[in-house]
A and B are shown apart, each in its own frame.
Chain A
Amino acid sequence: MVAALRRALPSDRVRDGRTELSLYRRDASHMEGTAIAVCFPTSTEEVRACVEAAVRHDTPFVARGAGTGLAGGAVPPEGAVVISTMKMTRILGVDPVNRRAWVQPGVLNLDLSREVARHGLHFAPDPSSQQTCSIGGNVANNAGGPHCLSEGVTAAHIMALEVVLPDGQVALLGGEDPEPAGYDLRGAFVGSEGMLGIATAICVRLTPDPLAVCTMLFDFDAVVDGAATVSAVIAAGIVPAAMEMMDQLCLRAVEAYIGAGLPVDAAVALLVEVVGLADGVAADTERITAIARDHGVRGVRIAADDVERALLWKGRKSAFGAIARIKPNYYLHDTVVPRRVLPAVLDQVYEITARHELLVLNVFHAGDGNLHPLIVYDAREPGVMDRVRAAGEEIVRVSVAAGGVLSGEHGIGLEKRDLMPLMFSAVDLAAQATLRAAFDPAGLANPGKVLPSPARCADVAAVPEGAWI
């Protein structure tokens, strides 16, 4: 297999040293696999050659971007070839008038926004990992981020994909034109976690920068007041660019880390940003502030300038750095619930983690009900992993039971594969498997992810060892 790959690519871009392979055993999740080789193609043709070699040897392969995925989507299936897109980093073309760009999959999310900033444009999906995650990875996971509340997730920003299909053929899915003939194969591919092929060139939609921005921070004595404010804002017909929530433990950790003057004695703080044109932004700011006052807001802080705005966002975005001061390890969860049940589900999250004697911080996209409970722990403590695992699964179960879904932006991967039956019947899952089989009859593209094997559908209780580690 490795020899065949070395014929397909210049041999220095096919690695199989033990140390290097060990670097590619995992992504940013808590699971591991084993690769037999890692390839670094630089072009569509080279990706095609890698896939063709893997297919000829009946060997599974997995595409890998920056490896920032949290659900194990890029963890190599046993004995797989890893095809890294991180040497495909060219921006192929930008059309600033029609607001499109063609990029290679290894272009980093923030690098694209920086490149098109001079045209007053940006790429709207902004996951917390945007400095290090790749656009190819964003496509594979249908990535989100704080500003997806008003702009939508990655699927809304992808026009076309050049892909290497799992049998090694190259095809264009979607198109630069708005209504390509046939099924929306582009839409099927986005979020398919590497199981329908490998994107080698991506046509993205670019979003105009807003002309006016206002960022507000509200703090409340009760979580329920903050959550009710979120629902009331939406019901009033306002869709802010972002509505982010941080609970007390998170506020304290972040404040100790960056000293932004956050309200550390509040139960919860709500960061709201509205964007657009000056008068609309001013009117929305006033209405949102009034709604917060109706719901017992304690403190209202409105960023006076870009410096203060950046500081408030730094508070939100530093959460993951800050928690290292509390405990050395963390497990980040990702579920979505209807906004109206946010307070009840948050209460359950606190109850579950307390019962398992674990600490939890909540920092999340409240505007679209996307919870991110962050369980912090010290892995050296005997037996702690079992408790982390058990609490995590309970959080997923209560979210789905409250009318929610398994994942809002991290994907299913390996982590939640065997929990899919909580949301989908065997018939629903069979339909998803049909789509997968149409793209990949041989089942070599990242096998074993997303879809539970049919035998497991009947028995949700049997989560495999390791899936929650």
Chain B
Amino acid sequence: MDLSAFADAVGATDPVTIAGFGSHGGGVEGVRTVNAPAGIERIEPEEMTVRCGAGTPVDELAAALAEHGQQVTLPSGGTVGGSLAVGRSGVRRLGDGPVRDAVLQIGYVSAAGEVVKAGGPTVKNVSGFDLCRVLVGSWGTLGFLGEVILRTRPHAAREQWFAGSLDPFHVLRHVHRPAAVLWDGATTWVLLAGHPADVESQVRGLAVSEVPGPPDLPAGGRWSVPPAEVADQRGEFVAEVGVGIVHRHQAPPSRPVDPAVRELHRRIKHGFDPTGRLNPGVDVLTLGAAGAGA
């Protein structure tokens, strides 16, 4: 995909922000807005990769991949670029891994308005520093994603949610590699994916029954805790067991940041965007916390 028109739009001097569908709050208000190119360029089922513009809707990508019996580890909704810029995984992270592990190559536009390539097109690659990992979850503060190559994975023959009143840690211990385990303090939901007979044999002896899907997640607060602390959660919540994401109505408290880590952030931002023109005012260290907006 030719990113030169996108690079021209980003330019090299004035403050600029990027927006997808606004599913994560949209761009920075009052700043000139650009949009990443959209479109699926190539699906390669036998390589388990897909190349697409960052402006491609995640759901459009998912539908196109489903025709090949494949899927990509991005939560539904919004654009591919938006999802990667935010870097938040869906409730299937326990089984599918985090969003960042799905990214193989990124073509982005730098603060200098240049097209830069990070990573490589193959499913395995350790050539040079892993800039893709830094860009995923960077909220457009280091560069604007233009085009990506993602790793895909096959759909399982059967995927089914089950729920029941049982100890989520019992499920985690005794069910072999569930795709997700959710818990609200009373009910446990488990998603099993695999051969139909294996799915049946796994739930045999568990006090659960089939349900159409996961529970509604409280919106507004996404708390990230060590998975060992999930058992201590109280109040109204839905927790991702074995992972450590706790969905609540309230925003999480702001977290203390180690001064050495803060200084690394400052130097990285300064190195990639010396004048602070990309998504001005966005501080990745406080995003999502109470009182920080976004």
Which A residues are closer than 8 A to B by beta carbons? 95, 97-100, 141-142, 144, 148, 152-153, 155-156, 165, 169-173, 175-188, 190-192, 195, 208, 210-211, 231-232, 234-235, 237-239, 276-280, 283, 336-340, 365, 368-370, 403-412, 416, 420, 423-425, 427-429, 431-432, 434-439, 441, 450-451
**Chain A CB within 10 A, most for which of B127, B260, B265:** B127
* Chain B min CB distance to A295 (Å): 13
Q: Are B260 and A183 in contact (CB under 8 A)?
A: no
Cα-based distance from A142 to B124 in the complex (angstroms): 10
Stretch with Cβ within 8 A of A (4 or more), from B9-17, B25-33, B209-217, B282-290 = B282-290
Chain A residues with CB under 8 A of B124: 144, 148, 153, 336, 365, 368-370, 408-409
A residues near B24, Cβ cutoff 8 Å? none
Contact with A along B172-210 (1 / 0, CB 8 A): 110011000000000000000011111001100000000
A184 touches B87 (CB 8 A): yes
- Docked-complex contact A182 and B257, CB < 8 angstroms: yes
In the complex, what residues of A have CB within 8 A of residue B287's CB?
181
Our pick among A171, A276, A365, A451 for the contact of B258 (Cβ within 8 Å) is A171
Counting CB contacts under 8 A, is B255 at the interface? Answer: yes
| Residue numbers in B under 8 Å from A423 (CB-CB) | 120, 127-128
Is the Cβ of A234 less than 8 Å from the Cβ of B46? yes
Closest chain B residue, CB of each to CB of A208: B177
Contact call A276/B69, Cβ cutoff below 8 A: no
Quote the shortest CB–CB distance from B46 to chain A (angstroms).
Answer: 4
A208, B134: Cβ atoms under 8 Å?
Answer: no
Q: Is B277 part of the contact surface with A, judged by Cβ < 8 Å?
A: no
Structural contact, B69 and A177, CB atoms closer than 8 A: no
Task: Give the 9 A-B residue pairs with the shortest CB-CB distance, closest first.
Answer: A187-B133, A237-B154, A280-B195, A279-B197, A277-B198, A176-B226, A235-B46, A438-B267, A405-B120
Most chain-B Cβ atoms within 10 A of its Cβ — which of A100, A156, A279?
A279
Roughly how many angstroms separate A409 CA and B127 CA in the complex, as a whole number?
A: 9
10 A-B contacts (beta carbon < 8 Å) = A152-B97, A153-B126, A165-B264, A178-B93, A188-B129, A191-B129, A336-B122, A403-B121, A408-B124, A412-B127
CB-based contact A428/B116 at 8 Å: yes
Interface status of B5 (Cβ within 8 A of chain A): no
How close is A198's CB to chain B, nearest CB, in angstroms? 14
Whether B267 lies near A441 (C-beta < 8 A) is yes
Q: Contact between A177 and B244 (Cβ–Cβ < 8 Å)?
A: yes
Kindly state the separation between the CA atoms of A432 and B195 in the bound complex, as whole angstroms: 43
Name the residue on A nearest B129 (C-beta): A432
Tell me which of B122, B124, B136, B173 has the highest count of chain A C-beta atoms within 10 A of its own C-beta: B124
Measured CA separation A368–B48 after assembly (Å): 10
* Contact present for A172 and B255 (CB under 8 Å): no
Interchain CB contact under 8 A, B264 and A171:
yes
Nearest chain-A residue to B292 (Cβ)? Answer: A181
Q: Given A97-B173, A192-B129, A277-B201: A171 and B226 within 8 A (CB)?
A: no
| CB-based nearest A residue for B198 | A277
Which of A142, A182, A437 has the most C-beta atoms of chain B within 10 angstroms of its own C-beta? A182
> Are A141 and B136 closer than 8 Å at their CB atoms?
no
Asked if B128 and A232 make an inter-chain contact with CB atoms under 8 angstroms apart, the answer reads no
Q: List the A side residues contacting B160 at CB < 8 Å.
A: none
Asked if A183 meets B268 with Cβ closer than 8 Å, knowing A188-B134, A237-B70, A431-B131, the reply is yes
Given contacts A407-B126, A438-B267, 13 further A-B contacts (CB under 8 A): A170-B260, A176-B227, A179-B87, A179-B88, A182-B261, A237-B69, A239-B48, A368-B124, A408-B125, A428-B116, A431-B118, A434-B271, A436-B129
Chain B positions 140-177 with a Cβ under 8 Å from a chain A Cβ:
142, 153-155, 169, 172-173, 176-177
A177-B225, A183-B268 as given contacts; A279 in contact with B97, CB under 8 Å = no
User: Which A residues are CB-close (under 8 A) to B93?
Assistant: 178
Distance in Å from the Cβ of A427 to the closest Cβ of chain B? 5
Contact, CB under 8 Å: A239 / B154 = yes
Q: A182 contacts which chain B residues (CB < 8 A)?
A: 257, 261, 265, 284-285
Interface set, chain B 247-294, CB cutoff 8 A to A: 255, 257-258, 260-261, 264-265, 267-268, 270-272, 284-289
Indicate if the CB atoms of A368 and B122 lie closer than 8 Å.
yes
Q: Verify A435–B46 contact, CB threshold 8 A.
A: no
Question: Interface residue tally of chain B, by bracket?
Answer: 35 or more
B102-142 at interface with A (beta carbon < 8 Å): 110, 114-118, 120-131, 133-134, 136-138, 142
The contact of A234 among B47, B100, B195, by CB within 8 Å, is B47
Q: Is the CB of B128 within 8 A of A141?
A: no
List residues of chain B with CB within 8 A of the CB of A192: 129-130
Whether the pair A428, B129 counts as a contact (CB closer than 8 A) is no
Whole-angstrom distance from the CB of A118 to the nearest CB of chain B? 14
Known: A172-B261, A409-B124. A187 touches B100 (CB 8 A): yes
Contact A99 B118 (CB under 8 A): no
Provide the bound-state CA to CA distance between A429 and B114, in Å. Answer: 13
Known contacts: A181-B257, A405-B120, A409-B124. The answer to whether A276 contacts B194 by CB under 8 A is: yes
Given contacts A182-B257, A182-B284, A436-B129, contact A427 B100 (CB under 8 A): no
With CB as the reference atom, state the residue of chain B lying closest to A416.
B127
Contact A278-B198, Cβ < 8 Å, known A338-B122, A423-B120: yes
Q: Is B242 an interface residue (CB 8 A)?
A: yes
Q: Which of A152, A173, A210, A409 contacts B126 (CB 8 A)?
A: A409
User: Chain B's nearest CB lies how many Å from the CB of A178?
Assistant: 5
Q: Are A97 and B155 in contact (CB under 8 A)?
A: no
Q: Which A residues lie within 8 Å of B98 (CB)?
A: 178
B92 part of interface (Cβ distance < 8 Å): no
Cα-based distance from A153 to B227 in the complex (angstroms): 22
B265 touches A410 (CB 8 A): no
In Å, the complex CA distance between A245 and B197 comes to 31
Task: Tell me if B129 and A141 are in contact (CB < 8 A).
Answer: no
B6 CB to closest chain A CB (Å) equals 15
CB contact under 8 A between A434 and B272, given known A171-B258, A172-B258, A277-B201: yes
Q: Is B101 on the interface with A (CB-CB < 8 A)?
A: yes
User: Which chain B residues lie closer than 8 Å to A340 at the CB level?
Assistant: 44, 46-47
The residues in B between 34 and 67 inclusive whose CB is less than 8 angstroms from any CB of A are 44-48
When C-beta atoms are compared, the residue in chain A nearest to B115 turns out to be A427
Interface residue ranges of B210-247 to A (CB < 8 Å):
222, 224-228, 240, 242-245
B140 to chain A minimum Cβ distance, whole angstroms, is: 12
**A340-B175 Cα distance, complex, nearest whole Å:** 36
Residue B89, interface by CB 8 Å? yes
Q: From residue B99, how far is it (CB to closest CB) to chain A in Å?
A: 10
Known: A178-B243, A428-B118, A435-B271. A451 touches B128 (CB 8 A): yes
Complex CA distance for A339 and B270, rounded to whole angstroms: 39
Which residues of chain A are near B197, meaning CB under 8 Å?
279-280
Question: Which residues of the other chain, B, contact A369 by a CB distance below 8 angstroms?
Answer: 122-124
